[in-house]
Structure 1
Amino acid sequence: MKKLLSISFAALLSAQAFANDAANELRTHLADLKGFQAQFKQTVIDADGVSIHEAEGKLSLARPAKLNWQQVMPEQDMIVSDGSTIWYYSPFVEQVTIMDASEAINQSPFILLADDRSESWQNYQVEKQQQGFLVKSKDDPLQAAFWVKLNADNSISRFDIIESTGQRSQFDLQGFKANPSFSEKLFKFEIPKNTMIDDQR
């Protein structure tokens, strides 16, 4: 019994070491990426492998945790984060939802692309998988996982958001630009007049 426990404990330590190595490798790849800009094409694939939705747009990320996400097709939805506050704006329903950025980081590993702070990464485990890195919550098995593929020059060509149900949102990136010069206005959102506000902070 002691031998079995010893083997199990050694395997656990070995798995943890590989996870730490993968996390360190991913963070090293992203270390020089202070921000990026790209066009995206999103394809949502259900658990049976059937494509059920497509969208297109443009995204800009900058550290720490700044985001400008503009979907242009089929709807013109928008997500903006200045690092402390996130605004999700849907012009179709004329509503903006306001959230705390730190809470959003705890709910989605995607934002880690734009956040190099150790306190944000400590809640996630990283594995090398299928020529990329899979990032999952350590504590919440129902939280969506995040997979990212990096090229030899550390540019990003694709990332996926994988729901616990098996549904996957695949984002293929084009026109990737690393470390562009951003205006701070890009990460601020002015609420249009006559817009309904849902403040969840």
Structure 2
Amino acid sequence: MMMKTLSFSMAFLLTFTMPAFAGDTPKADLKALLADMQHYSADFTQTVTDESQEVVHEAKGTLTMTRPDKLRWETTLPDETLLIADGEAVWNIDTFVEQVTIIDQASAVADNPVILLTSQDDETWQQFNVAHGDDNQHFIVKPLSEDGQIRSLSLTFDTGTLRSLSMHDAQSQTSRLVFDNIDTSTAPEMALFEVNVPDTYMIDDQR
């Protein structure tokens, strides 16, 4: 479930003001909208539904991201979990069983469109198609490869601020995150993306 949580989080970010669009394609529009993205923190409510639209999971927590490639995903309900991406590795910290699983971050987000929210790399952007949804505040992102866990990502903005996102995965499940208490102006402390593992914890290093 935590690997799926990573997919549902590498998400999302910035002093979001609506810039003039820099191009005549949806990808250029999205890149222009995210061009000044630096920081993003918010509370979130997550709802996961299956192919029949039945709710299979719900969660609440906080999300903190900063460019480039740093993320902290912490749930408070129904269970307390912590996932940190420090730019090099992803740390899944399970306090209940006192275990930490470590995976290579590049491998974890391969073919995952959520990476575009924190990536500044043009080569990475070339791995995805971008289309407009209902209007210029709504974008649908799909990886060119069909091998990834996430098949499509939908981003919804309101006056330049990311308000929600939805991801459809390879198991035909859809995860929708709605953000509240959004802060795009305060730079998060870098200590939030550092991991100090207690000596008593078991470490499963899969890098």
Shorter-chain TM band: 0.7 to 0.9
Structure 1 stretches of 4+ moved >2 Å: none
Unpaired segments of 5 or more residues in structure 1? 1-19
Deviations for 1:116-146, whole angstroms, at most 9, x for unmatched residues?
A: 2112222111111244211111012553121
Quick check: 2:111–2:148 contact (8 Å CA) kept in 1?
Answer: no
> How far apart, CA to CA, are the structure 2 residues paired with 1:109 and 1:84?
18
If each structure's helix is expressed as a fraction of its own residues, which one has the higher value?
Answer: 1
Q: What are the superposed Cα offsets for residues 5-43 of structure 1, whole Å, 9 maximum, x if unpaired?
A: xxxxxxxxxxxxxxx811111111111121100000000
Q: CA deviation at 1:53?
A: 1.4
Aligned residue type for 1:163 = D
SS at match of 1:162: strand
Equivalent residue in structure 1 for 2:156, among 144, 149, 154:
149
Q: 2:191 aligns with which of 177, 185, 194?
A: 185
Could you tell me which residue of structure 1 aligns to residue 106 of structure 2?
102
Look up the match of 2:21. Answer: none
Q: In 1, distance between residues paired with 2:109 and 2:143? A: 11
What is the CA–CA distance in structure 1 between the aligned matches of 2:118 and 2:106, rounded to whole Å?
12
CA gap 1:177/1:49 in 2 versus in 1, 3 angstroms: same
2:177 is matched with which residue? 171
TM-score by length of 2: 0.81
Aligned AA for 1:75?
A: D
Within the alignment, does 1:159 sit opposite 2:200 as a pair? no
Contact kept? 1:106, 1:120, Cα under 8 Å:
no
Farther off after superposition, 46-55 or 133-142? 133-142
Q: Would the alpha carbon gap of residues 146 and 192 (structure 1) be closer, same or farther in structure 2, given more than 3 Å must change?
A: farther
Q: What is the aligned-residue identity percentage?
A: 31
Pair 1:85 & 2:85 matched: no
Larger gyration radius, structure 1 or structure 2: 1
Cα displacement string for residues 164-199 of structure 1 (whole angstroms, at most 9, x for unaligned residues)? 332101100001111322211111111123212111
Relative to the length of structure 1, the TM-score reads 0.84
Is residue 111–residue 145 contact of structure 2 (8 Å, CA) maintained in 1? no
- Does the CA-based 8 Å contact 2:111-2:127 persist in structure 1? no
Query: RMSD between aligned alpha carbons?
Result: 1.6
